Structure 1
Amino acid sequence: MRASDVDRDRVAAVLREHTAEGRITMDEFNERLEQLYKSKTYGELARLTADLPDVDLRNRPAKISPQPVATRGMHPGMMAAWSAWAAASAINWVIWFIVSLASDDFAYPWPLWVMGPWGAILLVSTIFGRSGKEE
């Protein structure tokens, strides 16, 4: 029996879920996705997920470990961006401090030019960007 685009999209969502859970690698995911969009029948679609357990995309289990209050609802990518900003800012301030000590003079606080624009963009993205929750 012939499969529809909706059927292929449903299998793609299942494959994405298995990739997110670590059952298949990104390379496997890409190979299966390529085969998926070449598939024409239900049998071909079934072979792509035959070695994987069933996934109910509507009733996914809740996460066991609660997130800290400060990051609750923040997208993991945004948390990573803030972490990168904090690390880069700290490194720049340490360099500035060492240069100021070595020159026996108060150096211009140039790390502000690194932190400021990057931090402003992150702040705007955090406030006005999409939340981590799907509606």
Structure 2
Amino acid sequence: MDGRDGMRAADADREVVADRLRVALGEGRLDLHEYDERVQRAYAARTYAELDGLLTDLPPVAPVERSALSPLTPAAPPSVGDQPAPVARGVTARWLADVWFPYLRVIAIVVTIWAVTSLLSQDLLYFWPGWVAGPWGAVLVVRTVSGLAAKEPQRQAIKRQRRRERKKAKRATNPNETPPTP
């Protein structure tokens, strides 16, 4: 290795590569598992060659003349028409589960309470769980549509990944700290 490839990379260079990988995740070029692996390798990289190797199969984010300072300089992701970047199915499914499961649990509980009280009274009582399910469900439908349109599942996945990275970095800086026992 000669020239730039053999030179030691700085923390700022690692951050630039991690940001580019985040963009690739948002564009749907990487899945969460591959993104996680590459980010770990980016933060462990020592040289520019190791960092460049993490981006070789990804398209450049800027024309060559705009990135003359460094091939690692971030830029805005290329736009392909007005189509949004594809979202990994697992990310969207997890986000939908986070949004809808509390609602489904509560509705199951209130419908069960209504059914038990109807059985005990031996009469079909007024279906009051509709007053819980209807408005809350309408709010969740609006939240789901607006969240999918605003790419909320991707943002949530990136936030989750950042939290994991911070925890790993914190563990790396405090190796003598013992984890709590269950």
TM-score (norm 2): 0.43
- Answering whether residue 103 of structure 2 is matched by residue 95 of structure 1, we say no
Equivalent residues, number: 101
Structure 1: distance between partners of 2:122 and 2:105: 23
Counterpart in the other structure of 1:129: none
Q: Give the one of 9, 12, 15 matched to 2:15.
A: 9
Q: C-alpha offsets along residues 89-132 of structure 1, whole Å, 9 cap, x if unaligned?
A: 221121111111111179xxxx9xxx9xxx9xxxxxxxxxxxx7
Show the counterpart of 1:51.
57
Q: Deviations over 1:13-69 (max 9, x none)?
A: 11122223332233322222222122122121110110112236653459757xxxx
Task: Give 1:5 deviation, angstroms.
Answer: 0.5
1:20 aligned onto 2:37: no
SS at match of 2:39: helix
- Which blocks of at least 5 consecutive residues in structure 2 are unaligned? 1-6, 63-73, 85-94, 124-128, 137-151, 156-182
- Structure 1 gaps, min length 5: 66-76, 120-131
> Residue 102 and residue 63 in structure 1: after superposition, are their counterparts in 2 closer, same or farther (change >3 A)?
farther
Aligned 1:54-65 pairs, distance under 5 A: 54-55=60-61, 58-60=75-77, 61=79
Aligned-residue Cα RMSD (Å) equals 3.6
